[in-house]
């Protein structure tokens, strides 16, 4: 059985790391939190800066990859194969490919050039696979790429504990898990910023290594998929 908190921690770290590194290297492109690209797309149009095409393309690419990942998951389940392990292995390969492209083709002064689009969409694809795999196969683990809902739940739990309106034995463990997820995501963001400042696009070598650690440390879980 997989050690889900351990894997969830690694996924949260990568969620923050890849999103921040992609934002810095690709002129404001969110690779994991793709709805944020609506805001940066508007800013790019208003300011006349580069990256508008990349931001506009990110959402349909993300959606197509999530649908494809879900369909592949069903096929893997039908065959009795270890779904989560296969999906995370695919994500590792995609992160390696995206990192290699960033190192070989970067830095990117214009995010709408062919090399930048190829790099950005490869990273968006990798993080779409993570989002789909996490949602379907690690549903009980806090989200690894979007912290707004998690932070909201933390604040609600803190308020409920403060006024004694909830069962502390239930809420406290959840609060620890949620806070750990947010903290790990924040560490990923901070480290990505520091390493990008120091190493440039070589910072993209880290995420596939993190995924390899997760795959080595955790055994495959039984093939299953979330019904909803």
List the domain boundaries for the chain. 4-217
pLDDT number for residue 170: 78
Residues across the chain:
228
pLDDT number for residue 117: 96
pLDDT number for residue 48: 60
pTM of the shown model:
0.87
Number of neighbours of residue 171 by Cβ within 10 angstroms:
17
pLDDT number for residue 148: 81
pLDDT number for residue 23: 93
Contacts of 4 (CB under 8 A, 6+ apart): 138, 140, 141
Output Rg (C-alpha) for the chain, integer angstroms: 18
pLDDT number for residue 51: 67
Tell me which residues of the chain have a pLDDT lower than 70.
Answer: 1-5, 43-44, 47-51, 218-228
pLDDT number for residue 228: 36
pLDDT number for residue 218: 66
| CA distance to 72, 93, 199, per residue, from 30 (Å) | 25, 20, 20
pLDDT number for residue 50: 58
Residue (of 161, 14, 169, 199) closest to 96 by Cα position: 14
How many helices (H) and strands (E) in the chain?
A: 8, 0
Fold of 4-217: Growth Hormone; Chain: A; (1.20.1250)
pLDDT number for residue 174: 84
| CA 210 to the chain's CA centroid | 12
* Cα separation, 186 vs 192, whole angstroms: 10
pLDDT number for residue 65: 96
* Cα separation, 20 vs 133, whole angstroms: 21
Cβ proximity of 57 and 204 under 8 Å: no
Sign for the CA dihedral angle at 219, 220, 226, 227 comes to negative
């Amino acid at each position: 059985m997989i050690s889900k908190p351990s894997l969830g921690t690694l996924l949260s770290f990568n969620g923050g790391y890849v999103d921040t590194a992609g934002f810095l290297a690709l002129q404001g492109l969110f690779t994991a939190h793709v709805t944020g690209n609506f805001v940066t797309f508007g800013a790019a149009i208003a300011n006349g800066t580069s990256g508008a095409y990349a931001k506009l393309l990110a959402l349909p690419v993300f959606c197509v990859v999530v649908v494809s990942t879900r369909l592949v998951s069903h096929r893997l389940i039908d065959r009795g194969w270890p779904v989560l392990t296969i999906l995370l292995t695919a994500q590792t390969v995609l992160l390696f490919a995206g990192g290699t492209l960033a190192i070989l083709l970067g830095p990117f002064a214009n995010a709408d050039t062919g090399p930048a689009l190829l790099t950005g969409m490869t990273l968006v694809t990798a993080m779409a696979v993570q989002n789909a795999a996490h949602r379907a196969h690690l549903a009980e683990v806090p989200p690894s790429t979007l912290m707004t809902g998690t932070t909201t739940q933390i604040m609600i739990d803190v308020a409920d504990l403060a006024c004694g309106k909830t069962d502390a034995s239930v809420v406290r463990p959840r609060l620890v898990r949620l806070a750990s997820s947010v903290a790990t995501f924040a560490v990923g963001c901070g480290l990505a910023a520091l390493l990008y400042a120091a190493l440039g696009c070589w910072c993209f070598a880290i995420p596939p290594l993190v995924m390899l650690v997760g795959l080595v440390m955790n055994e495959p879980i039984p093939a299953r998929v979330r019904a909803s």
